């Protein structure tokens, strides 16, 4: 394998959390079609499902939702640390640092073997990451963070904490669907990273910090930010065709958010988010960005290059519109991805606990038989 190979066909584990058939655009969580889950389930139900391989009953759901909310507050020391960071710190760097610091305040942080303890830590982290994301948004604007409320869901709490106002129902519904859709996606780069760390016998916080570090990369979690910057660059609906001709047809640029490493047909998540992006656009009166995205996608799908290669909008494409319409800074898009993917990461961490050290082989392609030369003779 070449040095830059991506383990394309390697199978590294048996999993039961999700299944992807990229050829037909299928995604399931624990046997449930993503279309049904996006329509009917909440993010808290998905978290329970990924941990337990079944959906919760009413008492279990209410208990989980309450536990997340009641443990969502972050220590004052973590808030103070966030305030001490330079205001131009990347949001993912701030999140990574804060999650790492949280481990010092978790009394069970160094419990490396108890899966029930790991599950409890994951539930705490789910709420705490939500609070960190909202707090950072306010801190960079010079505003005081808003504490989470014990009566709200993850999505509702985030919308509440970024503004301090009663959360808007349409915004909360769109965000909750986003969290459902991004919660788990097989052995992606960040998930694999969390499993590698866990297999060394390390702790939940370390694995999640490593996952955040992997997700921070623009080839993984940063694509929706790049897509939104692209829409902003286009600027107006009438600019779509000339922009496409100037940059895409000439080969100078690629369309961010179109095409996927796994999906060779429609990404089922993209269509779901497109509907919510349109609903948000209508409710907010901010249709321009949605219309630009739709026109660019239609322009690409009519082009022979995109038709031949089966390139379709992926989840990042329309999630950019959803998050931007929620008035999130573009720098916050990837932290919101982490806010969702904590569910999948945690489930994989728990599954990996007690497993063998992950130690793949590599093909050496460097030189051989070199002779040592003393330093003064080189």
Residue 316 is among the residues annotated as catalytic for this protein: yes
- Encoded tokens for 176: 């909750």
243, containing H or E segment: helix 240-243
Residue 41: CA count within 13 A, CB half-sphere:
26
CA pair distance 268, 249, nearest whole angstrom: 27
Q: 224: burial class by Cβ within 10 Å (0-12, 13-18, 19+)?
A: buried
Q: Considering 176, 203, 205, 260, which one is annotated as catalytic? A: 260
Residue 238 is among the residues annotated as catalytic for this protein: no
Query: What's the gap between Cα 270 and its chain centre?
Result: 14
CA pair distance 272, 274, nearest whole angstrom: 5
CA pair distance 276, 273, nearest whole angstrom: 5
Closest to 350 in 3D by CA, of 131, 113, 181 = 113
Q: Considering 106, 168, 316, 331, which one is annotated as catalytic? A: 316
CA pair distance 231, 194, nearest whole angstrom: 32
Coarse DSSP helix, strand, coil percentages of the chain, rounded to the nearest 5 percent? 60, 5, 40
Instruction: List residues with catalytic annotation.
Output: 260, 316
């Amino acid at each position: 394998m070449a040095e830059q190979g991506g383990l394309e066909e390697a199978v590294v584990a048996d999993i039961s959390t999700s299944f992807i058939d990229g050829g037909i655009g299928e995604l399931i969580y624990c046997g449930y079609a993503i279309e049904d889950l996006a329509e009917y389930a909440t993010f808290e139900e998905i978290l329970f499902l990924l941990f337990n391989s079944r959906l919760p009953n009413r008492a279990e759901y209410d208990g989980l939702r309450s536990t997340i909310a009641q443990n969502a507050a972050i220590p004052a020391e973590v808030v103070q640390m966030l305030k001490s960071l330079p205001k131009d710190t990347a949001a993912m760097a701030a999140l990574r640092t804060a999650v790492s610091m949280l481990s010092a305040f978790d009394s069970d942080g160094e419990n490396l073997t108890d899966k029930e303890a790991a599950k409890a830590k994951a539930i705490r982290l789910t709420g705490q990451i939500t609070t960190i994301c909202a707090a950072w948004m306010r801190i960079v604007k010079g505003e005081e963070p808003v504490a989470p409320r014990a009566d709200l869901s993850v999505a509702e709490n985030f919308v509440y904490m970024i503004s301090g106002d009663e959360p808007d129902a349409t915004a909360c519904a769109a965000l909750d669907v986003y969290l459902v859709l991004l919660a788990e996606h097989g052995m992606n780069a960040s998930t694999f990273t969390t499993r590698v760390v866990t297999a060394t016998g390390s702790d939940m916080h370390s694995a999640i910090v490593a996952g955040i570090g992997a997700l921070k990369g623009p080839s993984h979690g940063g694509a929706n930010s790049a897509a939104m910057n692209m829409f902003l660059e286009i600027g107006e609906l009438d600019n779509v065709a000339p922009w496409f001709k100037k940059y895409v047809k000439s080969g100078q640029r690629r369309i961010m958010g179109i095409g996927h490493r796994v999906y060779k047909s429609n990404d089922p998540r993209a269509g779901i988010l497109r509907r919510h992006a349109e609903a948000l656009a209508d409710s907010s009166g901010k249709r321009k960005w949605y219309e630009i995205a739709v026109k660019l996608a239609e322009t690409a799908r009519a082009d022979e290059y995109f038709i031949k290669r089966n390139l379709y909008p992926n989840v990042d494409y329309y999630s950019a519109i959803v998050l931007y319409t929620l008035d999130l800074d573009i720098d916050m898009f990837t932290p919101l991805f982490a806010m969702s993917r904590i569910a999948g990461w945690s489930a994989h961490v728990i599954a990996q606990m007690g497993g063998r050290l992950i130690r793949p082989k590599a093909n050496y392609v460097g030189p051989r038989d070199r002779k040592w030369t003393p330093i003064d003779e080189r």
